[in-house]
Every structure is written in structure tokens, then in C-alpha cells.
Structure 1
Amino acid sequence: MRVFKFGGASVKDADAVRNIYRILSGLPEKEELVIVVSAMGKTTNALEAIYRKAHQKEDFAPALQACRFYHEDIAQLLFPEAGSPVYADIAQQFQELEQTLATLQPDHWDQQYDQVISRGELLSSLILHHFLQSQGISNFWLDCRTCLRTDSTWREGRVDWTFTESQIQATLPAILQKQIIVTQGFIGGTEDGFTTTLGREGSDYSAAIFAFCLNASSLTIWKDVPGLLNADPKLFKEVTRYEEVAYQEAIEMAYYGASVIHPKTIQPLANKCIPLFVKSFLQPELPGTVIHDCQHARIAPSFILKQNQCLLSFTAKDLGFISEQHLSAIFQAVHEGRLKINMMQNSALSFSVCCDYDEDRVQQIKKKLEDQFIIKYNQPLHLFTIKNYDQESIQRLTQDREILMEQRTRLTFQFVCRPSETLAG
């Protein structure tokens, strides 16, 4: 029994959907398989823009229509016949989306965000389900919100593992004996029927949850790269593919922001020693990378870039030393503001944190702490991480950059800098 996860790039258009069919056509008959799919192309970004316009009482109709046309155009290329049930499913999804957008309330930003943004995965999984069915691959469309239970931490739902595992094990094996399953990544459901999301790029995590609960033999994430690389090929001129990587190494890469893997993906797989394959949907015959329980020598340095960062600095108004009491207040505010710290540094008179920039959350923290601290911040900034660094790799990235903060440990070097014309190198 295996789990496949296809990301947005692998379902971005009709040809990409047809390519998934070609990959599945090469599998053995009666393969027990769960397919987890992301939203098509840049749909999540489009839905975010629509949601923001609707929340601000701006005209979102043209953007919503463009999103609908995008999905309908893909469907028309895949289903030339007018009577396909896919068109009714697409229409229903957009009808429900319009109803949600028409009833937004100003004080429930995160909760309503999840109800809107989740439509992307529902649409893509329905289109893939119908296309595979039309090509003779019998499959069951699963609404994952019925079995993947989370709490109501909107936009970062925390999984109820007890309910989720029991529900998946009680319902999916019987289906898998007859046909493969197509379901959604990124989303879940609360006990009272609301939709939640697991955090941006959370479809990898969804696939790992299904793999864990079903005791899968493996999870394969299909990407537009030939495996796990030591750098993003869109940003770095020279990259190296890792043949194999240990779980712990992959967890640290994901934590620091490696774009190929969602940070929460590895742990449930490691707990059951389920190997994770990262393979190219463009060249499925290539071996890719396997992440599993192994030991290897120190691997090539990995270069990780996180953009849209903010450097927040807190100084006590009485110019006293930064004490544990000060740190407690800062951490409490950051926790309540749900701001993720990627790097931090303490000095005698100030405490600085580098975090993903979110204007609303930064302002919330400033408002909460402005009576105690002088607060300054810079953005947008870049955070570079070099895992398994050497002197050459440090020189390669830091040369000619204005560095605002840096740290190093035995294996990791990080620095925050201002953006430059050359993102990486």
C-alpha cells in the first residue's frame, strides 16, 4: 500500500493531469494507492487575493471569474463531451465559494480564510478523480475532511491523531481493496463541521498523515525537480541531488525552510520507518531521492533561502539588561500572535528575532509590547541557511551582502541580510 502526493505544478494544466494518468498507468494492477493532490498551479494565491478583496469590501468578482474560467478551461480540454459530471462539481464548488464570500464577518479572518482557501484542493481532486475515471482507472473521491480531524486552530490545524487514525483505518482499507483513492492535501475538518487548513504547503503533511495511519510501505512526493537537491535550482546556478538522506537530516532541512518538503512531513514517517521518495513527475523513471532510516557521511552543503523575512528588535525602555522576565513577555506575545521565529539573538540591551513577515501579526505584537519595549523592525529581508557548511560555502553566499545578523553552530550557518539583485548565487 503506497501514498502518492502530487503538488500544484503537477496538476497546473490539462497536460499535467494527463501526465499523472501516464504515471499511474505504469503501476501494477490492483495497486493499493492513495493519491493526495494540491490545488492547481497558483490557485491558492489566487484564492488568497480574492479573499482579501472580499474582506476589504472590494470588487472580487473579476478575480473569482478568472479562477473559475481557469478550472473550467482545464476541464474542457480533458472532457470535450458536454455531459461530463465534472462540470456540475466545478459549478457547485464555486457556488458554495460565492456564498461564503458573500457572508464574511470582519472579526473572523483566520476561520473564514480556511473556508475560502480550501476550495482549491477540492476542485483539483474532483477534476483528477473524474479524468482518471474517464480513462478507465477506477477511483474513489474522498473528502478528507470526514476523516482527517483537527482542532480549530485556523490556518494551522492541529491533528487529532486518535480520531484521525481510527477513522482512516476503519474506512479506507475496504475501499482500497477495490479501487484507488483520490483525496485532498492541506485541509482537514473540525468536530463541528468547519474546514481547517494545515499551513501553507501542507499537502506533504497530509500525505504523511495518510501514510502513517495506513501503515503504508512508502510515500512518494512528485515534484518538478529530480529529487531532493542541495539548493533551489531556480535560485542557485549549481545544484546537487542527494541519493539518500537520513530522517533527522531531512527534518532539519525542512525546519530551516527547504522548499521541497513541508516541515511536519518527516516525523510521522520516521515514527513508523516509512521511506519517503522525492521524484520528478517530468522524468518518473529517474531514481530521485529516498529519505529513510539510514546513516551516511556528512553530505554536501545545502543552501536554503527564506524570503519575506522581518527582523524585530526589542529594547527595554529603561535601558536595563534583557532579563528572563523580558524574554518571557516577548515569547508570550509571539506565541499569541502565532509568529514563527526562524532565528533569534540576545545581547545585553536588546533581543532580536527573525520571523516570517505578516503585517497583521507583527502589528499585533507591537501593540501588545509597546509599553514595555522600544520596538524596531526591518523588512523585507532574506534569511539564508547553510546546512553542513564549509568556509567556501559561507564565502559564496555572504560575499557583497549587507548582513544584519548571523549565527553559526557546528553544522549550521545562518544570516539575515537585505535583498540584493542576485537572490542566491
Structure 2
Amino acid sequence: MNIFKFGGMSVKDADAIRNAAQVIQDYGQEPLVVVVSAMGKTTNALEELTNAFIEQREGYYKQFEEIRDGHFQVIRELFGDDQNEVSDEVNDLFVEIEWIIEERPFESYGYLYDQIVSIGEFASTRILSGYLEACSISNTWFDVRDLIKTDNAYQQANVLWDETAEVFREAEATFRNGITVTQGFLGCTSENFTTTLGREGSDFSAAILAHLLDADQVTVWKDVPGIFNADPDQFGETFKIDAVSYLEAVEMTYYGAKVIHPKTIKPLENKGIPLYIKSFLHPDQPGTVISSEPVSRETFPPVIVFKRDQLLLNLRTKDFSFIEEDNMSLIYQIFARHRTGINMMQKADLDLLTIRHYDENSLARYTKNRASFITQKDQVTVQCLMEGERE
């Protein structure tokens, strides 16, 4: 039992879908579960549509039509026309969006986001499943909402593992036979409302299914041949990493490396299921494997993560008291409540240095060997917030 996950770029257009079908056909083994993301940049487009609808910006219906028409263009290229069962199924999906945007928004942003954006995965899986059938590759289309149960935390829903495992016992036979095509990124509440698992959540979906099915392995098909030590688009010289341990993968994703969805590793590590990241353009290449096997630090290249557009937030007490553990706990709770991630936090005794009529020599002298967090200058005064001196 293997799990294949095809990301958006691997099903971005008709040629990509043909290639995905070829990868599935060449694999030639069953049972196989195929988890699919929305096509190309569809999630971004549906997200922008949601924002435009919520804000009632002019032209959002045209955005909707462009997204819908793009899917029908792919259908025509794959099937020769748009008068077929797949077209009817995809049309029904976009009618669901049309019903939502015909009314004024009154539900919460998160709820509307999940109901609209989720259509991308349903459309892509309908198209891929239908194309596989057209290629005489028998498969079953499965609505993942009938399996993955979540809470009501829209856009970042938490999987309810006990409820999911209970439902899985009824659905297991479907996955054990032949090829099953289903959606990534999605779940369902107890009230039968669609939820999403967070951006790039299709990796996590594949890991959930692998965990439930005790799969032999998971393969994530990307447009790159594996994991690199740095983003090739940002850095000139990069190196592909052949093998990564679960622990190292967690560390890399924690610090922001675009490896896989951060929640993906835990379900796999618990069952010892290896994860392969491979190129859908060169499926015969070995890619990168993430597993329980330890990797020597001596042979591991430096891993570089560069995150743009970060916000530095400086917090201090009004009464000049220290920020102790209870204050830190409150700060984390506030950020968690607003679903805002913290990339780095430093707690330190701070000194504020002010020099009037400063020069660069005096500034260098009084800040020597002191970590500086914020420096503000004008023509006369410099202020520098520094790490406090240790006694």
C-alpha cells in the first residue's frame, strides 16, 4: 500500500495531468491512494476571490468566471469537449461557489474561505479521476470529508483522530482495493461543514491516510527532484539532500524551510513510514527520503532558510518589571488565539542607550560586545536597545 500525493504544479494543466496519469500507470501496483491538490495556482486564485467577495470589491464575479473557465479549458484539452460527465461534475462544484457569492457575505471569513477554497481540490480530483478512467485506469473517487474529521477551527482545522479512526473502519475497504483518488487539504466538522488543514495541507492529508492505512511509504510528487539545502530560487549554489531524518525534517520545517507541511512528519514517524520527495518530471530519479534512519552531521550540508517580510515586535512592561514566565505564557496565548506564528522569541534584560550629539566612535565604544536589537538615529540623537550587561 502506497500513497501518492500530487501537488498543484503536478496537475497545473492538461499536460501535467497527462503526466500524472502516466506516473500512476507506470507505477502499476495496487492498492494505491492518490491525494491531489488544487490545480496550479487555483488555491491562490480562490483565496483572492474570497477576499474580494468579503470586501465586496468590484469585479469579483469576473474572477470567479476566470477560475471556472480555466478548469473547463483543461477539460476540453483532455477530453476533446466539455459535454461529458466530468464537465457536469465540475460545473456543479462551481455552482456551489456561485450560490455563495450571489448573496452578501454574512458568515465568518474563515467559514467562507473554507467553503470556497475547498472547491479547488474537488475540481482537480474530479478531472484527474475522470481522465484516468478515459485512459482505462480504473479508480474510485472518494470524498475525503467522509473520512477526516476536524474541529471548527476554519483555515487551520485540527484533526480529531479518534473520530477519524472510527469512520476509517467503515471506509477502509475502499482504500484497500485498486486506485483511490481523493483530496488533500480538506476535512469536515461534526456539522458536515468543510474545513481546511492550513496552506500546503495536502502533505498532511497524505500522512493521515498513510498512518491510518499502515502504508509502506508516501511519495510527494513535486517540480523539484528532492529537498535542497536552500531555495534554488533565492540562492545560486544549492545541493540536493539524499536522505533526511524525521528529526531533521521537523527542525527544517520549524525554521521555515519549504520541505513539507509542518504537521506531516508526526503521523509518519509514529508508524515508521518513509516519505519520498520526487520529481514528477523525472520519476525514475531517487529524490530525497525522510525516514527514521539517522544521518551523519558530518556529511550534512548547511541548511539555509531565508524568510522575507518579517515583523519585529518589541514588547516591554510599563512598570519596568521583568517579563517572567506567566507574562510569556499570556503572550503566547494571545498569538495562538489570533493564529499568528512566532518565528523567534528572545527574552532578555535590555538596556536602552541614548547619546545626544553622538559620533560613530562613541556609539561603537558604548555598544562594543553588546547585542543590539533596535537602533534609531537622527541628526543629533541615537538610541540603541541592547542586551543587558551581565553582572
Q: Deviations over 1:223-272 (max 9, x none)?
A: 11111111111111111111111111111111112212110111100100
**Aligned residue number for residue 409 of structure 1:** none
Asked if 1 retains the 8 angstrom alpha-carbon contact of 2:207 and 2:267, the reply is yes
CA shift in 2, pair 1:237/1:316, >3 Å: same
Residue in 2 that maps onto 1:300: 301
C-alpha contact 2:31 2:175 (8 A) present in aligned 1: no
Q: State the Cα RMSD in Å.
A: 1.7
Asked if structure 1 preserves the Cα contact closer than 8 Å seen for 2:72 and 2:82, the reply is no
Report SS of the residue matched to 2:83: coil
TM-score (norm 1): 0.79
* Aligned mates of 2:106, 2:314 — CA distance in 1: 31
Letter of the structure 1 residue corresponding to residue 281 of structure 2: L
Residue matched to 1:227:
226
1:174-206 per-position Cα deviation (integer Å, ceiling 9, x unaligned): 4532x2100000010011110000001100000
Q: What SS class does the counterpart of residue 4 from structure 1 fall into?
A: strand
Q: Counterpart amino acid of 2:323?
A: I
SS of corresponding position for 2:334:
helix
Match of 1:322 in 2: 323
Which residues of structure 1 form unaligned runs of 5+?
351-402, 406-425
Q: Distance in 2 between matches of 1:325 and 1:248?
A: 30
TM-score (norm 2): 0.86
Deviation string 1:118-174 (CA, Å, 9 cap, x unpaired) is: 111111111101111111011111110011100111111111111212322431334
Q: Is contact 1:226-1:286 (8 Å) kept?
A: yes
| Corresponding position of 2:387 | none
Residue 188 of structure 2 is aligned to residue 193 of structure 1: no
Q: Is the 8 A contact 2:174 2:180 kept in 1?
A: no
SS at match of 2:310: strand
SS in 2 for 1:316: coil
**Equivalences, count:** 351
- Residue 157 of structure 2 corresponds to residue 157 of structure 1: yes
The whole-number CA distance in structure 2 between the counterparts of 1:161 and 1:90 is 30
Letter in 2 for 1:242: I
Hey, what does 2:127 align to over in structure 1?
A: 127
Looking at structure 2, the residues matched to 318 and 175 of structure 1 have their Cα atoms a distance apart, in angstroms, of 61
SS at match of 1:341: coil
Q: Distance in 2 between matches of 1:9 and 1:87?
A: 21
Separation in 2 of the partners of 1:170 and 1:106?
36
- Superposition map of 1:23-422 within 5 A: 23-29=23-29, 31-59=30-58, 60-103=60-103, 105-106=105-106, 108-177=108-177, 179-298=178-297, 299-348=300-349
**Residue ranges of structure 2 left out of the alignment (5+ in a row):** 352-371, 375-391
Distance in structure 1 (CA, Å) of the matches to 2:103 and 2:215 = 41
Letter in 2 for 1:340: G
Q: Quick one: distance in 2 between partners of 1:329 and 1:170? A: 42
Aligned residue identity for 2:286: P
Aligned residue for 1:263, secondary structure, equals coil
Q: Secondary structure at the match of 1:192?
A: coil
Larger radius of gyration: 2
Question: Letter of the aligned partner of 1:37 in structure 2?
Answer: V
Q: Distance in 2 between matches of 1:106 and 1:306?
A: 35
Contact conserved, 1:319 with 1:349, CA < 8 A, in 2? no
CA distance in 1 between partners of 2:272 and 2:169 (Å): 18
Name the counterpart of 2:381.
none
Match of 2:203, SS state, is: helix
User: Moved runs in structure 1, 4+ residues, more than 4 A?
Assistant: none
* Higher percent of residues as strand: 1
